[in-house]
Structures are given as structure tokens and as C-alpha cells.
Structure 1
């Protein structure tokens, strides 16, 4: 990071008015955004190309990325009428046993300051503003103590399968001291996925000073100003001496492909609290995870960024629910772009939904303001979807949901309400 080593950021940070002037058109666009797709367009406009593509991409041919989104469009919402509901509805629920105002939350994602200088603090403030859970990655560019000062509500700390057990113990202790309520172990990241957009772009943070990267930086003036006028960022919760531009090298040196179920048991013993296994797509793995002590199943395929042609998470969700029963908490992420997608996930067996790309588009587009806008958009869409479905609360949506959501073209007879008796309703289609 030659410019930072020369102290250029200290000089530029004292130059007034430049940032507000550069930011103004993006701020207006965020104000006018009506859906997540709008925020994505603004993010693409504002960010360096390789940064946007890192956020936007999936693995290999991006088949799983497309299928993850398309799977929701194949699910129809067979709504009830004349339900007599008045907006706003009650969207409150519990996640990891803690009360929250919304049944969805910002997933832990690495290196948020790459997208916008506000970084993880923007997402934490937005989650606090909306009264929902916040998730912090162990590869965050903001420290656990700094997040703990911002977000006083429920928090989950995400951990990768690191080789160094002393590193694991150290970061778990930090999470406990930061009043994190739950731990999420990511188990679908034992190899680094083949993200071909990154390879084509020559992805590095900061950009290499090649003609191509300089040209892309010129085309993204506000992102470039943010980068050059603020201190260089590091992995604040793992090793502050490791620069953020060495992400792949650091991950490859620390990730442990040999990490197995016995190692997971050891980790649960070290944490001794609410815990999620993040990356489950198979019922047998979910059963095993429950047997060794995980309290929450987190159905995820890492945003379709790891194993190409891994299944759409919404498609495997019902089988995971069947496997672990009605009383085990399930979180789902992957493919969420609309509040209707969140409603479908809750209806088909999820207790809560994590969002990744939607809030990162908001972050990239407009920092804290953009994340708040992303959450607000999804909140309004979910409220509307539940009202039109005829379900006034999250609990009611989960209980009645399987009778409301059917695969496109299927008859009611083909999709019986498989969870109705478990969740307190009679059998058959409700």
C-alpha cells in the first residue's frame, strides 16, 4: 500500500468538501432507490470494477448464483383474502433466543471497508437502528470492541475453520468479551472458491497500479477518494498486522481443510453457548450437527461462491426442516433479493433469514445510509407480502406457510401442508 505508507491519506483526509461533492449524486440515487436492484446499480456505478465484481460474483460459470435467485421465482404465493389485517404488521421474532424486531439480519461478510469506508460500522448501526441481529465476520475490518460499542442488541460472531487453535481461542474470548450471543462456524469454506471474475479482473485490494486498475479507479472517483483518504484496513479481529490485500494468501495459510466433526465438537466446548453450523445443505449433515451439539442449522451455500452447481438453499430447506424437527432453529441465506423471498423462506421452514448481497449493495452504494435503506426496502416488502398473504405475525406465517407456498404449476394436492400438525394446525391445505 505505497500511498498509505507515504501518509497520503493523512493529507487527503484534511481536504474539505471533496467527499461531499463526490458523494452527492450517489446519495441522491440511494434516496430514490425503490428496490435492491436499484441499490445494486448504484453500487456498480460507485465502486471500482474489481470490488463490485468481487461482491456480485459467484463461482465458476455462476450457475448456482442464478439458480439461487431463480428458485424463488418458481415458488408461488397462494394467498388468503379478507384477513382483516392492518399495517404495519408484527415482524418481531426471536433469533438465537433473543428478541428482534425483524426476522432477517445482515450476514457476517468479510472486509466490509473494501466496499465503503464506513465498513462494518455501517451495517452494525443499521442493524441497531432497525432492532435486528448483527453478524460479524472473523475477517472483518472493524474490531469486536468497536462493534460492541455500536450495536447493543443480539450479535452473532462468525468463525472459519482455522488451523491455529490458539488463534481460535483468542478470537472466541474476544467475542465473549464483546457480548456476542452466538457463534456461527462456517463449514463450506475449506477451499477457496473459483471466482473467475476476480481472476479476470486481477483482483487485489488495494488495486495494483497497472494501467487497467488506474483507469478503473479514475472511473470510480468517490470509491478511490475513500480508499486514498482513509487509513489502510486490516483484519481487525485476527491479526492487525496482516494487510487486507493479502486475503487469499492469509485464508489459504490459515484455513484447515482437515477440520472435521471432532474438531467441531472441540470448538463447541470452547464456546459453550448458542451455536450455528453455517453451510449445511444436506439433511444427514444437519442431523449430525444437531447430535454433536449445534443449536442452530444455518442453510447456506456461501452465496454460491464456493462449489458450483451446489443447490439453491430454498430448495433444500424443507428437507432440513424435516430432518431436524420443528423445535430446532433454522437460519437460511442465499438468493434473497426481495421481501417476498424472505416470506417464502419463513413459510417453508426457516426461523430467520440472513441477507448478504442486498445489504452490501447498500453499503457500497451509500455507506450507513445505504445499509439502512436496504433493510428498510426489505422490511416494507416483507410487511406487504405478509399482509397480502393474510398472515399478521411471523409466527403465523411460519405455522400456515406451507399451505401458502407452492411450486409453480403444482396443484394443491401435490403440496400438502407437511408442517401443519407439527406447528399447531390441522392437516391438509390451510
Structure 2
């Protein structure tokens, strides 16, 4: 199997394997993160209603007597609750959840930082009553699960409750009766926030492991299927060589009359045709004629699959005839065999490919050149079919011509087809 055909087979197998996995809008975006995508959606759906419950508690608490000085209460409430509402809506609909969650987490920390200034000159706080902003401490923590990476989640989980404790003590003027209630509130917020962050990390890790296991399974399946396909093709080609090619050679050896020679030539041509098309399958495409420039595009695409960045030089005259699909495929496959030979034996030195299309007589020519050490065509062992089978026989089977010019300064493989040729 030639390298382009093997790459095409691997891609088809992977496409078939992924096709066995159910696809939805989320899953189509990233086939390799099938479970992670759904876990992220589940997390946002949980964060939205959960934040709504705690946010409603804080909202109703904000209607009571506030600790803020005159002129601070309404701006702080609007600054905190507007991003909170936007975050809840975004998490519920599954759009821009990360952006609005990050905005709320940052705005809440800024509001906490301003709390000592907002409460300066306000009513005296009561140790047993928490301000409305306290109920949103863990909402800010859970917002980071959606918005930030794990290190920032941990930092917010630790820093936000501690910041609340500091600003609450500053509000109370450091009175001793506030120390124990604030310590309990901070401890509760730290424990709850740690549990939430740990759960988010655990579910994401499980999802990543599941996706990795799925990807490994699909890769193993693709490798096994490709190996099986290669073995199947090897058996089929071996049988073809034995039944068709060997039969044609025996007929040619025993031919003694013009009729027998004609029959042997017919058998040989049929054998070469079947051998050249051994790689063809139902997914290869129709014989519908294609533009000559399509050959250049296909050669570049196949070269990239080999890891070779190649730009085909196009010199196609206007009016160049369209190339039948079967012949186009034969030219592309033969050219790719020549490219593969240049990469393997000449290390792609000076590798270039030129496509020429002409109108009189109508046809196309593909030339693959390299500046490697060259080789002796006549010295190629009989059992090496890279040139004989994949280039010469393949072109001969579709009525094309091939020429190989190899010398010490390099090798040029010319592949030609004319619209007047029989095929």
C-alpha cells in the first residue's frame, strides 16, 4: 500500500470510529473532548441555580438595615448584583458563562476591598448578624470554577473568605467579641469553597481520563483496522499476481502463433489494469472528468500527509481538456510514488513537482524532479514494484506514458496523458 493510500485508509478508519460516537452540538466542536464538554455544561448548569439561591438570600438581606454609610448602599448593591444576574443568566443558557463568571468574581473582590470605606461612619455592626455581602462569598468562589484555571480557583477560595474576615474586623474596629463569629464564618466559607473547588477538579479530571481512554481506544481500533486492511490488500494482490500476472506470463512464454501472442498481450494488459487498480475501493470516487489543476491540489494534499510541504508548479494552458477521474487518480498516485521515492532515496534534495497542461494535443504532464544521487533503472531488482507497479504499470493501465531519467545529478520522473490516447 502506498503512503497516500495508507494515510487515506487511516483517516477513513478514524472517521468511521468517531462516527460510532453520538454527536450533539457540544460534541461536534471537539470530538476528542466528548465527556469534558458535557461536564463543563453540567458545571455551568449547577452554578447558575446554586448562585441564584445564595444570591436571592443576599438580595433579600440587602433590603434590611445596611451597615453602609449613607450613599454607599445602592451603588454597592448594583455593582455586585448586576454582574451576578448576568452570570446566572449566562450559566443557564450556556453562552458567555466564563466571561460573566470572571467579571463577577473580580467585582466581588473589589466590593469587599471597598467595604471598610463603605461602612465607615455607618451603623454599628452586631456580632451575631452578618452583612448581606457575606452570603455571596462562596458564590464568588464557585464563579471561579467556571471562569478560572485551578490555581486561580484555589487562590480565590482561600483569599476571598480571609479578605472578608479582615474587612469585617476593620468594620468592627477590632473588637474582641467579633473575633470568634468572624473566625467561624471564615472557616465555614473556606470549607465550603474547598469542597466546591475539589468537586469541580475531580469531575473534570474524570472527564479528561474518560476522553483519553476513548481516544486511545479509537486509535487502537484505527491501527488494528488499518493493519487488517493492509493484510487484506496484501493477500488480494498476491492472489492477483498469481492468477492474472503469472497466467499472462505463462501464456506469453508458450505463445507460438500470432493469435496466441495477441491473446497473451490482451491477458497481460488486463492483468496490469487489475494490478494498477488493486487499491481502488467504493470510496475512491467516480470517473467524472476533473480540471487539470485538480491534480496539483491532490498532489499537494497527499504530500502533506507524507510530511512534505510541497507546492506544485502549475503551467496549465487555457483550454486544457479535463482529465477523467480514473486517469487523474492514476497520475496522482504515480506522482506520489515518485515523491515518496525522492524523499526516501534522495532525502528530498531539490524536490519539485511541475504540472503542465496543453491544448494541442490536449493532455497533461506531471514531472517530479530531485537533485539526489540518481540510480540505475535497469539495476532495480525484479521484486521491487515501487516503480514497475506503482508508476509504469499504473500509467500503462490507463493509457498513459511514463519516463524515468536518472543520472548522477538527479532523477526526473515524467508522467503523461493525452486526451487522444486510448484508455
Structure whose residues are more often strand by fraction = 1
Higher relative contact order (CA 8 A, sep 6+): 1
Structure whose residues are more often helix by fraction = 2
**TM-score, normalised via structure 2 length:** 0.19
**TM-score, normalised via structure 1 length:** 0.19
Larger Rg: 2
